[in-house]
Amino acid sequence: MLIRVILILLYKTKIVVTNPKSHSRNYFGTDGIRGKVGVWPINAEFILKLGWAVGKVLARQGYGKVLIGKDTRISGYMFESVLEAGLSAAGIDTHLLGPMPTPAISYLTRTLRAQAGIVISASHNPYYDNGIKFFSAAGTKLPDEVEAAIEEQLEQSMTTVDSARLGKAVRVVDAPGRYIEFCKSTVSSETHLNGLKIVVDCANGAAYHIAPNVFRELGADVIEMGVEPNGLNINLNCGATHPAALQQRVLLEQADLGIALDGDGDRVIMVDHQGHVLDGDELLYIIVKHRQELGSLKGGVVGTVMSNIGLERVLQELGVPFVRVPVGDRYVIAELSKREWHLGGEPSGHIICSDAITTGDGIITALQVLSALCYKKQPLAEIKTGLHKYPQVLVNVKVPGICDLSSKPRIQEALKNIEKKLGTSGRVLLRCSGTEALVRVMVEGEDENNITQLAHQLALVVEEDLT
């Protein structure tokens, strides 16, 4: 079942997650379908039928083509082949992009006028996981009704169209070059990175052959990391989820800054010349402040329940509206569209600049920050000043599978007790992950020692009750 968490947001105080809501979906989670390779549904048999089901749903709209891109996991070869076969059986042509960042597939789906784009990736997860996610013809996440139609089609017996109507497959050889040029076009032609020494960590993932070239072609002296994928080393002690190696390299090379992407290139964190990590909240703050100074900021900012309360308060001081949504870029994107705003994101480094691209993009986010840095002629360590982040402790609790936190009285009682202890000086968040078998416990407040203790207390109760 797809677990969607209902959030109760209390402005300036605490944020509590209660009443997880089951959904009628059997396969789609908050970000497509994801799991361990070889374990249903992430096996060749199911993915073959998934490709066929997608093709059958798209075929109802008339002739078209589907793009397939992937990250660098070894299982991507297998899933690329079976998706192509399933789509062909349904009469749909495929254009194969090879290893490409998730946002690149979103962009190319739109510009190549495809009916849909398919991404084979498990993002920041280890190599032994993989997943399938989709983009519509507009480069956005598939609407709920299309996902529902695909699930309904999966319940039918697989068939094959007449041989004369089978889909064909071609490889798009110029996909990387197309995307490099697009990324560069998202910043002013006056943005030059000459004189900047930048360490770029591509997590041995999908952006390994793209990101360094983007920054290098804009004039930066680029030192590459994580650009030797072997199918097994994606996200392994590198990239946005493991920035320690980047921090060390920035200090060793005496670089001006470092940029770390995750395995599929849709999120980014940065490191200043002193080796300090800047997360998504800090990067979003830099971009917002820069646009406000230029007079180009449209509306406010969309964050999530994980966004630091310090970001909310500094934006309030700047007169910038701020709203929170559940964790997941689809919720951020939906709220931005609803309000006709342009900027939103998550502390993980998943930032949406919707005036540039329809999904999160680590390269484009980094370029937005670099544009601000060049404009202000300040180092990253200085340009981030003004944001005071509250200490925030996150504890992940492994659970056997689907969890219903609202039906556990002991967990709810522990949650209420921590709320009382925090009062108005902090907040607590308890939620089921939409992509992994985890319950995430987050406590935020002014006293780091206190919130660390409270987070681990609540995590222990969750572990005892659910495992």
List phi, psi (to 5°) of 429: -135, 130
Q: Tokens 């308060």 sit at which residue?
A: 313
Beta strands in 249-308 (DSSP E): 257-261, 268-272, 277-278, 301-304
Q: Which residue in 106, 121, 123, 348 is the catalytic one?
A: 123
- CA distances in angstroms from 5 to 1, 20, 21, 430, 432, listed in the order given: 12, 4, 6, 10, 7
**CA–CA distance, 435 with 132 (Å, rounded to integer):** 12
**Which residues lie below 8 Å from residue 172, measured CB to CB, with a gap of 6+?**
67, 95, 96, 97, 98, 108, 112
Q: Which residues partner with 34 through β-bridges?
A: 131
Q: In the structure encoding, which two tokens stand for residue 300, read together?
A: 């406010």
Using left for φ > 0, alpha for ψ between -120 and 50, and beta otherwise, residue 32 falls in left
Q: In the structure encoding, which two tokens stand for residue 59, read together?
A: 């075929």
**Which residues lie below 8 Å from residue 141, measured CB to CB, with a gap of 6+?**
133, 134, 135, 329, 330, 333, 359
Active site residue 123: yes
- CA distances in angstroms from 361 to 102, 192, 364, 404, 406, listed in the order given: 8, 20, 5, 32, 34
Q: Which residues are catalytic?
A: 123
